[in-house]
Amino acid sequence: MIDKTSTVLIVALISILGLTSCIRYNVAEPLDRFSSPEMGTADGNEITVTAGSTWFAEGEYENFILTGQALTRENAEAALLFHHTDGKSGYEVAFRNGAIDGTRKSGSLTSVRNLYRSLAEDGKWFDFEIAVRGHNIMIAINDTVVVCYTEPEHPYRTKEYAGRLLSHGSIALKGMSGDVAFRNLNMTRLKKDAVNEADTMPRIDEQNDAVIRFQQQNFPVIDYHVHLKGGLTKEMAHAMSMNYGINYGVAPNAGEGGVGRMLADDKEVYEYYNEVKDMPFLRGVQGEGRKWTATFSQKALGVFDYLFTDGMTIVDHKGRLSRIYRPEEVHYDGVTKEQYMDHLVDQTVKILTNEPADIYANPTFLPEELNAEYAKYWTDERIDRVLDVLKKHNIALEINARYKIPSFDIIRKAKERGIKFTFGTNNVDADIGKKDMTAGQYAFIRDYLSRLEYDNYDKLIILCDALACADGFCILEKRFVDTARRYGLFPFTLARWNKTCEYKAYFEAMAGAPIYTLLPGIEKCLEW
């Protein structure tokens, strides 16, 4: 006999199953019913979101593909929320266009993967797509994927953005400023096991990732100095940007000299522009040599988002073209090093005065012999001359990761003057150094190395290398810091350190004693 309680449970179960069976997967359906606490209800194909208003769509969603069109006006901004339960939690996608000005642009996964150049324009309808498949979020603007973010097992979130997590919930449109219109919104539900097959990049450990911390502070994470060289292609830069959150300024060289992608005339400028105009990175160009301003028309150079140059190619004191990064082209014949330095500063000021640069790249670079005494040759007077011309012509000072220049003292002086800064790696790639091999050879080697299994001898060699410096034995931490100061930090640095510490523990277990007690004189390494 079935009692009353059982009957209620059965009815409830049947109801749930009935509702579940009504859910249609992989079928696009209009998202055209919204309600707003401030504005009431809205039905139809088009809705305009104004500053301070929030419109909530009917229904809740987990995995889905949402497509539609949006139109922004000048300085207008709105956000599309998904997986929210209260109008604040879940993720936001930004809708804002306009010039590159440090504000988030359309397609940004707000405060998680911010974009600073828009692929759309104010006053024109543009297509967008937002897809959630499991832990992956994909965003496209005008058919170009701009974000491919996979939420890790332990995402890093500040207190302010603690709710930026995947779950399930409603769709909402929130007005930030001005008017933003949406139309032709269509929602396709996906099953729980939906997977983004294009999500192939390695996962990020956000607890040890600096980029996500900058994103949470809405600090513009832009690398303005990236060249297509050393195996780096525009497609690779696109993929790395989508996944890792760094906005790249990809710049070919224009003029004579340099390496990687080179532009020789206006025709090549426009050809390159057409290649990259629909890609979600900033478009820059680096002037090479000292004839580049006469080689290209102002109109052609105007298609780029910014121009930059450096003082690494000069006309020396005897009228010779000298690339000062090549020791064989640096000559002190007839002058002292102090006189050479004064001439170098003269040339730098002339370059920054006469060439149409937005950024002074590789700033304060010195020839090898002078660089050994960097602080001696970059006197206050010489620094002031360069900073004066930057201030006068509104040129930004690059903080260069490759050469670790300029010095902190110069950066501080520039900040006091109100000079703008940019950041540049010159060059960026997960694999540092020139790859003088074919793409096929390179892929083979990477695959081969990834399959290697280290034996005890391999592990011991790695550990020994980390336990020694020029002065003798040292603790691992000192070796790590010394290497990082000289060569910088790379995506694999932390993983390499952790693995070395694992090897230390492994051999200590085999030896039955702390490694440091077996190394004579190691205590001297603590005398910093």
Average pLDDT over residues 208-227: 91
Instruction: Return the sign of the alpha-carbon dihedral for residues 269, 272, 278, 281.
Output: negative
pLDDT tens digits, residue range 241-274?
Answer: 877 888 999 988 888 766 667 888 999 999 999 9
CATH superfamily of 22-205: Exo-inulinase; domain 1 (2.60.120.560)
Q: Per the confidence metrics, is the pTM higher than 0.75?
A: no
179-213 pLDDT, tens per residue? Answer: 999 999 999 999 999 998 888 777 788 998 888 99
Higher pLDDT, 450 or 181: 181
Q: CA angle, 260 as apex, 305 and 282 as ends, to 5°?
A: 20
Q: Which residues contact 460 (CB under 8 A, 6 or more apart)?
A: 503, 507
Complete DSSP assignment for 47-67: EEEETT-EEEESS-BSSEEEE
**Cis peptide, bond prior to residue 427, ω within 30 of zero:** yes
10 pLDDT higher than 50: no
The band of 115, judged by pLDDT with boundaries at 50, 70 and 90, is: very high
Q: Of 69, 272, 277, nearest to 181 (Cα)?
A: 69
Residue 450 reports pLDDT greater than 70: no
Domain ranges of the chain: 22-205, 210-424, 453-526
Q: Which CATH architecture has domain 210-424?
A: Alpha-Beta Barrel (3.20)
Q: What is the pLDDT of residue 302?
A: 92
DSSP 124-141: S-EEEEEEEETTEEEEEE
d(CA 96, CA 225): 25
pLDDT bucket at 44, cuts 50 / 70 / 90: confident
**pLDDT at residue number 137:** 96
Query: For residue 189, what are the CA distances in angstroms to 4, 61, 335?
Result: 37, 7, 75
Residues 102 and 98: their CA atoms lie apart, in Å, by 11
> Which pLDDT does position 441 carry in this prediction?
44
Average pLDDT over residues 414-424: 95
**245 and 215 Cβ atoms separated by less than 8 Å:** yes
Instruction: Please choose, from the candidates 263, 306, 305, the residue with its C-alpha nearest in 3D space to the C-alpha of residue 119.
Output: 305
Q: State the alpha helices, DSSP H only, in 330-378.
A: 337-354, 368-371, 374-377
pLDDT per residue as tens digits for the range 320-350: 999 999 999 999 999 999 999 999 999 999 9
Output the furthest CA–CA distance in the chain (Å, rounded): 112
Mean pLDDT within 274-288: 89
Lowest mean per-residue pLDDT among 106-115, 191-200, 440-449: 440-449
Whether 89 contacts 169, CB under 8 Å: yes
Q: What is the pLDDT of residue 34?
A: 92
pLDDT at 490: 58
Contact 223, 247 (CB under 8 A): yes
Radius of gyration of the chain (CA): 28
Place of tokens 């190394």: 519
